[in-house]
């Protein structure tokens, strides 16, 4: 039984490989969005109002891709073996991984709210979305700040 449990750590490779493929796909998606935004800038001669949001979305896409890559490398280091990578790229326990995930969610919610700002049709709905975004962000930030390591 001990042998089986010790070797079960390699099950984490399933998550590592899946996250690595997801990171590659996310970087590809960010690159695709970048090309489309560059075309939008040139075609509209920089006058399209959506350019600012598109640029923020590009940054958001690459932040998400980087976060997914960090999750893949961190899972590998946590369960399989040490990696020779910069410290900022690794989480050394599950608490660090949860904190990184909550930070990424806050960033994504902020970008999605920015998108909604440009499509304002109903001020009350926008206010409700803003309040919900702020509350969820506060909870996630509070989790990172106040939670104790296990």
pLDDT in tens, the chain (150 residues): 888 877 788 888 999 999 999 999 999 999 999 999 999 999 998 888 888 888 888 988 998 899 899 999 999 988 888 888 888 888 888 888 888 888 888 888 888 887 777 777 888 888 888 899 899 989 888 887 777 655
User: Do 136 and 80 belong together in one domain?
Assistant: no
User: Do 23 and 66 belong together in one domain?
Assistant: yes
User: Do 66 and 107 belong together in one domain?
Assistant: no
The pLDDT score that the predictor gives to residue 14 is 93
User: Do 77 and 137 belong together in one domain?
Assistant: no
User: Do 12 and 69 belong together in one domain?
Assistant: yes
Name residues whose C-beta falls within 8 Å of residue 101's C-beta, 6 or more positions apart in sequence: 67, 71
User: Do 128 and 62 belong together in one domain?
Assistant: no
The pLDDT score that the predictor gives to residue 149 is 54
Instruction: With CA atoms as reference, report the closest residue to 71 among 55, 88, 49, 90.
Output: 90
User: Do 106 and 131 belong together in one domain?
Assistant: yes
Structural domain containing residue 68? 1-91
User: Do 48 and 78 belong together in one domain?
Assistant: yes
User: Do 102 and 64 belong together in one domain?
Assistant: no
3-class SS shares of the chain: helix, strand, coil, % to 5: 80, 0, 20
Query: CA of 146: how far to CAs of 32, 70, 82, in Å?
Result: 38, 23, 29
Last residue of a domain, one of 74, 91, 108: 91
User: Do 97 and 33 belong together in one domain?
Assistant: no
Number of domains in the chain: 2
Q: Confirm if 58 and 30 have CB atoms less than 8 A apart.
A: yes
Alpha carbon distance 71, 77 (integer Å): 10
Q: How far apart are the first and last CA of the chain?
A: 26
User: Do 78 and 119 belong together in one domain?
Assistant: no
Instruction: With CA atoms as reference, report the closest residue to 74 among 26, 15, 141, 25.
Output: 15
User: Do 21 and 50 belong together in one domain?
Assistant: yes
pTM score of the predicted model: 0.76
């Amino acid at each position: 039984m001990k042998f089986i449990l010790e070797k079960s750590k390699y099950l984490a490779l399933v998550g590592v490989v899946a996250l690595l493929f997801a990171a590659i796909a996310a970087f590809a998606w960010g690159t695709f969005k970048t090309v489309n935004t560059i075309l939008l800038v040139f075609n509209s001669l920089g006058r399209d109002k959506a350019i600012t949001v598109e640029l923020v979305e590009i940054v958001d896409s690459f932040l998400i891709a980087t976060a997914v890559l960090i999750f893949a490398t961190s899972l590998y280091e946590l369960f399989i073996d040490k990696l020779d990578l910069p410290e900022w790229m690794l989480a050394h326990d599950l608490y660090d991984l949860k904190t990184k995930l909550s930070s990424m969610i806050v960033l994504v919610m902020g970008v999605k709210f920015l998108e909604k700002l440009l499509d304002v049709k109903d001020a009350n709905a926008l206010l409700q979305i803003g309040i919900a975004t702020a509350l969820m962000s506060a909870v996630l930030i509070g989790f990172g700040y106040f939670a104790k390591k296990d």
